[in-house]
Structure formats: C-alpha cells, structure tokens
Amino acid sequence: MKKWVFLAVLVFGIGYPVIKMPAFFQDNVEIKKYDQAQSGFVDTYEEVRVTKEDIYRGNLLLVNAEHPMKQESKREDVVNLQHDLTMEVVLLDSEIELSEGVALAFGKMVAAAEKEGVHHFSINSGYRDFQEQSLLYEEMGSDYALPAGYSEHNLGVSLDVGSTKAPMNEAPEGKWIEENAWKSGFILRYPKDKTHVTGIQYEPWHIRYVGLPHSAIIQEKNFALEEYLDYLTQEKNIIATFKGQKYTVSYYTVSESETIQLPKNQAFEISGNNMDGVIVTVQE
C-alpha cells in the first residue's frame, strides 16, 4: 500500500465538491530506507550509552522456542488490573496482572472499538510469573502451553483477549482486533498465515504490545515479529511516517557497551531484541 499524501482532494472553485478519502487511507504508513550518511548535518546531539543488559529490556523482545527470556526482562510496572486500574472490560478472574503502560494502551484501544459498536471484550490472561507458567505447562502439556521463560506472558506485555458473546475466531471483537489493534501499538502475535514463522498455531485472542510505529510497520508489511526483527537487522535504519508523525528506527548490535549519538531534544525509546542488539526509535 502506498501512502496517500492528502487525506482529501480539494478542488478549488465555486460549486466544486470536496472529495474525502475513505477513513482507512488515513492509517497508512510510509516506510523508506534511511541513509545516515545522507541524512543531513545535526548540530546538536546527545550521546546515549547502551549496554549488553539493554538487549534484554523493552517492548520488542523476541520470545519464542529459540529465544527464551530472562527473568529480569519482565516489565517493572506490572499491576493487578482489578485492584489498580479501572477498565471497561470483563476480567476472567480477579488476579489478572499486566504492565500498567500496556493496560492503559489496551484501555484506549477498547474505547476506540466501542465507538465503532464493538464492546464485548474480556481479558482472559495477562502476565504470568515463571512458577505459574511452569504449573500451566505441567497441567496443559506442550500442545497448549509453553515452558517458563518461553512464553510472552512472562514479559507482562501480552494478553489473551476474549469476547463475552462468542469465540474470538467468530466474534466481532476478534475481527476488530485483527484489523485495528495495530493502530494502538498492538499486534496479533500468532496470525493464521504465519504459523510456519512463529511455530505457534493461530491464536486470534493473543495480542502483544510493541508500540508505534512498530505495529504499523508490521501491519503494512504483513510481518510476524520474527520477520520484523530480521528486517530491521538487514536494513539497519528506516524512516516510518504515520499520521503525520515521523519516526527513525535504527538497529545496533551490542557486544558489551556502545555509545550512540542521537539528535538532542527529540523523544526516543530503546528496546532490546533479546538476541544480539537494540532497536532505537526516535520520534521527530
């Protein structure tokens, strides 16, 4: 899909109509290769130090059969959803936990869905510690659960979402999430057409927070998370523009400690990939 530079085509002149583009065109993302050598001179910058420990922190950690997480990779802001947050969503039980930041993003996503008449969401599972994951693996077996450390639920950024009306593969809530969750920074982690990449069967209920612009790029290019991280490793630097906001996304390998130069006074985020490096996202 190509970016539509104008969201409406204006024809000037008395009596000429304003032709508005369909709403979905407003959500397109433009992605292009970024050549740092040709990016222009930045007269003010700051040096940011990243270490090997940063490889194992952040929203873009890859957790799968080949890349188990470390216990310190768990988000530090995990809270009990019933006790600590007010959300307009049904909770399967009173002990469900999740990263507070991810929960707030999910709440905004649910509010967006409600405006479109989709509002029967439930949260069936969120963060699990290693002990809980081990018990689940023993009870459910390898066909339905993963060992401790190999499940995204151990990070605190993933949740299983349900509908109070029907199974997610049939419910309006499931269809809405598949088509719209990326606009709020979430991805459907185990899509139907990516089982050969993820090694996990289709799960229309399991969503994962990666944040913008990453979710928009993943949606645009029809990537699984594994494919997106491979793409960043190959490209090194890309620019993504989404809803008028420009982001520079750069990949760096990290051995022990690296110093990265970033434009001063611009917001940035650093996330490891749980493998060999970090992804730096600068919001211009």
Q: Which of 203, 227, 258, 269 is flagged as catalytic?
A: 203
How many other β-carbons are positioned within 10 Å of the β-carbon of residue 17? 8
Secondary structure (H, E, C), 89-133:
CEECCCCCEEEHHHHHHHHHHHHHHHHCCCCCEEEEECCCCHHHH
Is 203 part of the annotated catalytic residue set?
yes
What DSSP line would sit under 139-206, residue for residue?
Answer: HH-TTT---TTSSGGGTTSEEEEEESSS-TTTSHHHHHHHHHGGGGTEEESS-GGGHHHHSS---TTE
Closest Cα partner for 50 from 284, 282, 281, 280? 280
Q: Is the peptide bond before 213 cis (omega within 30 degrees of 0)?
A: yes
222's torsion region: left (phi>0), alpha (psi -120 to 50) or beta?
A: left
CA dihedral 195, 209, 185, 280 (to 10 degrees): -100
* Tokens, residue 230: 């491979």
d(CA 178, CA 85): 25
- Give the catalytic positions in this structure: 203
